[in-house]
Structure 1
Amino acid sequence: MTDPLFAVPAAPLVPVEGAAGAFPVRRIFCVGRNYAAHAAEMGNEVDREAPFYFTKSAHDICLSGATIPYPLETRDCHHEMEFVVAIGAPAFRVSEAEAMTAVYGYACGIDLTRRDLQGAAKEKRRPWDLGKDFEHSAIIAPITPRAAFGEIGDQAIRLAVDGTVTQDARLSDMVWSVPEVIAHLSRFYHLQPGDLIYTGTPAGVGPVGPGNVLLGEVDGLAPLYLSIDAAE
């Protein structure tokens, strides 16, 4: 075997609450339209036959507390607050009853979206990659282990921009539950430790700009802080 021609970045690491080690990120899966009110505000209906997904590069990960430049080539970048599931055990073709055994923990996350680029792609019936998969677009707070968080129920999920709450819902509002998402996704992928699932965003998404400070919260999890700087 020959030596690599150049070095590549190691897997991004996410801190874990109460643990000395960190969670290495392998892949990022994102659930689309998993809150009916958000689907409606975007002019869409929920597909109740099956969830659907898009992906982000693991190297889009950005840790809570960061200050990031306003994203490239967009004039309409939106925040999307998310409940993130961290996978800690292999899962392939698991049932809903088995799905939660694959979960390591949970975290607050934000899916930044270049909404103008996503919209242009939708109009041309093209993939959303330019709108969704870009540097610093997968924000995440420290992960809380599953046992410390407890059962997923009606915990509040909210996001505030400069102190004004823009998104406010309950995890119980999700169209597809976490066990349902894991079971369905495991039919198409061999889920492995290090995979993250961003489970969708509630209604109230909106634009962010230079100078904005974001605070994302889910009851029982470490909060998420993000500041937006001027464009590069």
Structure 2
Amino acid sequence: MEQIEQLDIKKKILKAAENLFMKYGVRSISMDDISRHLSVSKKTLYQHFADKEDIVSMTCQAHIETVANRFLEITKNAKNAIDELTKISICLKQNTEDTNPSLLFDLQKYHPKAWSVWLNHKNKFIRESVIRNLKQGIEEGHYRPELNVEIIAAMRLELVQLPFDDNAFPPSRFKMAEVQMQIFDHFVHGIVTEKGRKLYLKYKETLAKL
């Protein structure tokens, strides 16, 4: 029973840290901030985590696993490649609406372990998902047959990170969720056939009414 309670406390700490990091960025949040947010002592935090780096990397891993599971569920239930893309776009919008633009920059500059977790997820899970979707879409006639899936997938991976670049999209001028959706929409229109475009617009219109 005590072990279960300890696991519950650890999960609560990770969830609280995730909410704070997503909203305010990683660098600006300290162990004191996390303990105050949870109304627990710093001693309690250090009973479960070695330091802030440990919390950041484990929070990053937990967040990525949650998002990956959502995407896998979408893939499993999607009617076709366009349906999958459309539903993934909704997830992207939800994930970035309240995300601090400095998040990835903070990880890259100050938390190499967590940054490595993100890079591994991006270069393996996301890359494989994009390539699989592209191949499926081409087979279905929804994507242009002349696409080089390796090149398009590599381009898409970089576009995922682009909205976090405050030099390209200063937070004072742009909302990251809107930037992400504009980039995603542009990407889709660049790969679809006329058949795929009509289906994509149909799905978007349906989802907009929900």
Shorter-chain TM-score category? under 0.3
Higher relative contact order (CA 8 A, sep 6+): 1
| Higher Rg of the two aligned structures | 2
TM-score w.r.t. length of structure 1: 0.26
TM-score w.r.t. length of structure 2: 0.28
Choose between structure 1 and 2: higher helix proportion. 2
Choose between structure 1 and 2: higher strand proportion. 1
